[in-house]
Amino acid sequence: MVRFGSRMAVDGGHRDGGCDWDGRWNHVTKFLERPGPFTHPDFEPSTEALSGFRLIHVVDMDTIDLSNLNRQFLFRPKDVGRPKAEVAADFINSRIPGCKVVPHFKKIQDFDDSFYRQFHIIVCGLDSIIARRWMNGMLISLLSYEDGVLDPSSIIPLIDGGTEGFKGNARVVLPGMTACIDCTLELYPPQINFPMCTIASMPRLPEHCIEYARILQWPKDKPFGETSLDGDNPEHIQWVFERAQERAAQFNITGVTYRLTQGVVKRIIPAVASTNAVIAAACATEVFKIATSAYIPLNNYLVFNDVDGLYTYTFEAERKENCSACSQVPQDLQFPSSAKLQDVLEYLTENASLQMKSPAITTTLEGKNKTLYLQSVKSIEERTRPNLCKTLKELGLSDGQELAVADVTTPQTVLFKLNFTT
Amino acid sequence: MAATKASKEQKYDRQLRLWGDHGQESLESAHVCLINATATGTEILKNLVLPGIGAFTIVDGHTVSGEDVGNNLNLIFWVLMVDPLDFNRAQAATELLQELNSDVSGNFVEESPNKLLDNNPEFFNRFTIVIGVQLPESTCLRLDSVLWSASVPFLVCKSYGLIGYMRLVVQEHSVIESHPDNALEDLRLNQPFAELKNHIQSYDLDSMDKKDHSHTPWIIIVAKHLERWLSEHNLQPPKNYKEKEAFRQFIREGIRKKENGVPEDEENFEEAIKNVNTALNPTKIPSTVEDLFNSEECNDVTSQTPSFWVMLRAVKEFALNEGNGSLPVRGTIPDMIADSQKFINLQNVYREKAMQDAAAVSKHVECLLQSIGKYIANRRCRCLGKNSSFLRVVRCRSLAEEYSVDTVNKDEITSSMDNPDSEMVFYLMLRSVDRFYQQHSRYPGKAKVYTALSLINVRLCIHPLCYDDCRYGAAEPHTVAAFLGGSAAQEAIKIISHQFVPFNNTFIYNAMSQTSATLQL
């Protein structure tokens, strides 16, 4: 058995009363997650494991792909196809004594509050803002307030990292205390989606041709029967590539390649080992600081870019007073009573601080729960669609009415208060 | 089993999108030397092996110790399978790192670098880059001298407690493909070349039908309005905010109106108005490139001149002749609201001009090569033309210059110390620690902080961080090693691929505050 060598720059004897560093670390359970095929190898339980952490849960819904191997170093060619969480756990458990990694081949949304409540710290290397917001919302829902005062023992710190090519960021969120993910939604650039009219009738770039094949031709031609387009299937990509080339030839557009086709269809973000190592290390450092209280944690956002030299910028992202996720302030909806439900829906999706994806709106009318509009279930969508054209007054809503909105961006419904402007 | 070409393309797909196939080729031709397979060293190498460098050689005379195992990611994985504490660190690390990527070939030399320098200094000449980790000052200076003469880039790295340090030593590193983040477009609207002028002339906004009018590229719209503006303003383009606002309003007036006087929804005009500022940027040679044009290497081309300078000189000749004072046209335009044909036609005007200019540059290269009796294999003049605004040369002083009393960069040090939060203090700490080690063959404990500082003859108020520094006792915590591992590996990749711009020349990372600084020492 091998004992770890001396660990850290922390001198236990310096502190009043001293501390048992080993004991401190043993009861820290960490929860790492990484759903999605992402650029993030490095919540490599390895970095945490080597810093002395003993119990780590890993949640990841993805399986290993060949293209992960250029950076995700816990995986080998023989592991391709296996669940990432399981292979990572096996790797660490078999090599680091005393460390237990528990894998969960699941989505983060598959678990509820009873699962997340058990952890001391949560570290994320997620591949989407939606997932981040969901996790953020979950931890906020675990907070308990007594007489309006936050109980600090209900806070579970969230350490979040992300990378894109040579850029990355790491942040520390203390739910209820510091800026949360939703407080800084405007920091994230909006996703690029080409307008339909460009794709359908006025392509200019090779990307437009690829999207044409993916969005319009595939559903029409159904080249592989009823199967939906699978970005990981080379045959599917080849089909899209060929159709895109044909379209490009029609319009004298150059530049359609197989690599570009795959990149557009799968929304691929370039990734390298080095940037991920840097951001993972920064996150691990924060986990360590928080777990040991040895140093002041990052307050609270670090940006990294090594395109030209190496650049870091550290700043304190501010809490938003009326954040829809963490402010506890009921969200205001100001509309004239003659506004249509469609207007409210658009506001929920387009407003920069809300950026909901497909909100479902319900309310209580005459003591009964009524769904005003819901997109995700086809039958309900069809039934409630006519409501979109009705005015708020016609729908029976009154000034001060509470609307409950559910969306993929949050595990809990958000309550809005309707304020009629006329 | 050697990977097939297809599976390699798949494996490296995510990084090929950053540095391209040619970048990958340069990586696969590289041979990296790592001195000292410590936690930091193996982290750096891991981030070079994963993307597929051709080969690495670890030089390390140490045997595996319990402490190594505690921190060193790779040794842990290996040690558990074998009885520890009996192996050469170089060998252990090599075998483990090799496992990460079968495309890479790994070697090791069980020897201290000092011994190698004594017996066979030319050993290091074969490498594309040498990375020295946790090396004492004297060894660094010896390597510096040898590698400087051999023109082999040298990257020095150190993790010391919660501080990370990197120093790049390279005489001259040229970059054609710097891939700048926010480059301005090269539209030439202030001085349209003949073909662009003709193309603009072919448009008559007033006589267009509604559909064509609202699908005309904004570049044309700005160009047309600029023509009118120039004729009405004594050939002076809009210069200050007031004039640019007036120009925007002028464009706005060009939007067609419905019968009731309400303006039509012409998004292309809105784009034109939004882009006025960038469209009016004067075309000029960036100062970085001007400096390169004025340097000796560019103007004094001989048969010894490296290819980069020959090509740069060709670009200069182009600028002085066919370019009429400007660099080759880049040839790309941003996407904009327009129908396919108008956009493609406009794009082709720029593209064809770029190809023409690249061909002219190529001819200058030919002439120069002939005159000096030389041949350059991979000239890639189109790449040169496209990137002519972004050419960079990085020169990092030798360690000898940094350390010498005569040439130490006193100004940078003292001016940084004016700021109490500056990372410069850590640089001084590390130098003191090095000097202490030099004299005592061990690292300082708490009591020796004063001695350490006095050794470098620096007058400083004792910084409270001194105490922390000594408490570290030269520990190499894993998270700092990992941060440095990622940073150093990317700088090495920049050196190897000649893409993206390396730092110049000292980088300090402070894990306590999660801040960093780049100093030029």
Please state whether the peptide bond connecting residue B275 to the residue before it is cis, i.e. omega within 30 degrees of 0: no
Which pLDDT score, from 0 to 100, does residue A186 have? 84
Average pLDDT over residues B46-51: 97
- Answer with the residue of higher pLDDT: A2 or B123: B123
CA distances from B97 to A86, A136, B45, B102, B486 (A): 22, 37, 8, 10, 15
Question: Does residue A276 sit at the B interface (CB-CB below 8 Å)?
Answer: yes
CB B82 within 8 A of CB B108: no
Q: Give me the pLDDT at residue B82, please.
A: 43
- DSSP code, position A187: G
* Shortest Cα–Cα distance, A310 to chain B (Å): 6
Beta-carbon pairs below 8 A across chains A and B = 213
Question: Is some CB atom of chain B closer than 8 A to the CB atom of A39?
Answer: yes
B110 at the A interface (CB within 8 A)?
no
Q: Which amino acid is at A79?
A: D
| pLDDT over 90 (residue A11) | no
Under 8 Å between Cβ of B53 and B107: no
Find chain B residues with C-beta within 8 A of A285's C-beta. Answer: 479-480, 483, 511, 514
Residue A90 CA: distances (Å) to CA of A38, B346, B488 = 20, 57, 29
* For helices B424-440 and B137-150, angle between their N-to-C axes, nearest 10 degrees: 110
Q: What is the pLDDT at residue A405?
A: 93
Alpha carbons B59 and B70: distance in angstroms, whole number: 21
Task: Nearest by CB to B479, from A3, A47, A97: name it.
Answer: A47
Which residues 51-70 of A are in CB contact (within 8 Å) with B?
Answer: 51, 66-67, 69-70
What pLDDT was estimated at residue A3?
25
Kindly list the strands in the beta sheet with A368-373, ordered across the sheet, starting from the edge strand earlier in the chain: A331-335, A410-420, A402-407, A360-365, A368-373
Average pLDDT over residues A269-292: 93
C-beta separation of B489 from A273 below 8 A: yes
Cβ distance B80 to A274 less than 8 Å, yes or no, reads no
The amino acid sitting at A278 is V
* Confidence bin at A367 (pLDDT 50/70/90): confident
pLDDT of residue B449 exceeding 60: no
Phi, psi of A132 (to 5 degrees): -60, -45
Asked if pLDDT for residue A374 goes beyond 60, the answer is yes
Helices (H), A189-315: 196-201, 206-211, 218-221, 234-250, 258-265, 273-292
Query: Percentage of chain B surpassing pLDDT 90?
Result: 75
Please give the pLDDT value at position A422. 75
Residue A62's pLDDT band, with cuts at 50, 70 and 90, is very high
Q: Is B342 on the interface with A (CB under 8 A)?
A: no
Reduced to 3 states, what is the DSSP secondary structure of residue A54? Answer: coil
As a whole number of angstroms, the longest Cα–Cα distance in chain A is: 78
Distance CA A351, CA A342 (A): 14
Element (H, E) at B96: helix B89-100
Of all residues in chain A, what percent carry a pLDDT higher than 70? 87
For testing contact with chain A, the best of B211, B479, B508 (most A CBs within 10 A): B479
C-beta of residue A68 within 8 angstroms of C-beta of residue A88: no
**Chain B residues lying within 8 Å of A306, measured CB to CB:** 487, 490-491, 500
Band the pLDDT of A49: cuts 50, 70, 90: low
A19: confidence class by pLDDT, cuts 50, 70, 90: very low
Rg, C-alpha atoms of chain A: 24
List the single residue in B with minimal CA-CA distance to A169.
B514
Higher pLDDT: B471 or B303? It is: B303
Q: Kindly tell me the sign of the dihedral angle through the C-alpha atoms of A113, A115, A116, A118.
A: positive
Q: Which of residues 390-409 of B touch A (CB under 8 A)?
A: none
B518 touches B396 (CB < 8 A): no
**Mean pLDDT lowest for which of A263-267, A360-364, A381-385, B452-456?**
B452-456
Contacts of B80 in chain A (CB under 8 A): 2, 94-95, 97
Q: Is the pLDDT of residue B412 over 80?
A: yes
Residue A307, pLDDT > 90, answer yes
Q: Report H helices in B275-339.
A: 276-279, 287-294, 296-299, 307-320
Contact residues on chain B for A288, CB-CB shorter than 8 A = 479
CA distance B140 to B163: 19
State the smallest CA–CA distance between residue B141 and chain A in angstroms: 24
Of B29-43, B201-215, B475-489, the poorest mean pLDDT is in B475-489
Per residue in B198-257, pLDDT (tens digit) is 999 999 999 999 999 999 999 999 999 999 999 999 999 999 999 999 999 999 999 999
Report the distance separating Cα B33 and Cα B54, nearest Å.
Answer: 11
pLDDT, average across residues A242-262 = 97
- How far CA A275 is from CA of A166, B56, B428, in Å, comes to 6, 21, 28
Contacts of A78 (CB under 8 A, 6+ apart): none
Q: Residue A164 in contact with residue A188, Cβ under 8 Å?
A: no
On whether any CB of chain A is under 8 Å from the CB of B84, the answer is yes
Model pLDDT for residues B314-351, shown as the tens digit of each residue: 999 999 999 999 999 999 999 999 999 999 999 999 99
Per-residue confidence band for A98, with pLDDT thresholds at 50, 70 and 90: confident
* CA distances from residue B484 to A88, A372, B106, B132 in whole angstroms, order as listed: 23, 54, 21, 13
Whether residue A46 and residue B73 make contact (CB cut-off 8 A), yes or no, is yes
Chain B neighbours among A 167-206 (CB < 8 Å)?
Answer: 170, 202-205
What average pLDDT does this structure show over B496-515? 96
Q: Which pLDDT value is given to residue B68?
A: 57
What's the whole-number mean pLDDT along residues A14-43?
38
Give the DSSP H or E segment for A101.
Answer: strand A100-104
Q: Over the stretch B270-308, which tens digit does the pLDDT of each residue have?
A: 999 999 999 999 999 999 999 999 999 999 999 999 999
Note the pTM of the prediction, 2 decimals: 0.88
* CB contact set of A14 (below 8 Å; sequence gap of 6+): none
3-state helix, strand, coil in chain A (%, to 5): 35, 20, 45
Q: Please give the C-alpha separations between residue B219 and each of A141, B197, B257, B271, B323, in angstroms, as whole numbers.
A: 51, 12, 21, 9, 21
When comparing pLDDT for B410 and B452, which is higher?
B410
Q: What is the mean pLDDT of chain A?
A: 86
Is the pLDDT at A213 greater than 90? The verdict is yes
Q: What is the dihedral of CA B235, B240, B246, B252, to 10 degrees?
A: 90
Contacts of A255 in chain B (CB under 8 A): none
Residue B369 has pLDDT above 60, yes or no: yes
CA–CA gap between residue B122 and residue B146 (Å, rounded): 8
pLDDT at A141: 93
Find the helix or strand (DSSP H, E) in which A304 lies: strand A301-305
Average pLDDT over residues A260-274: 96
Q: Is it the case that residue A7 has pLDDT exceeding 90?
A: no
Burial (Cβ within 10 Å: 0-12, 13-18, ≥19) of residue A403: buried
The SS3 of residue A413 is: strand
pLDDT score for A112: 93
Residue in A closest to B181 by C-alpha: A307
Determine the residue of chain A that is closest to B64 in CA distance.
A5
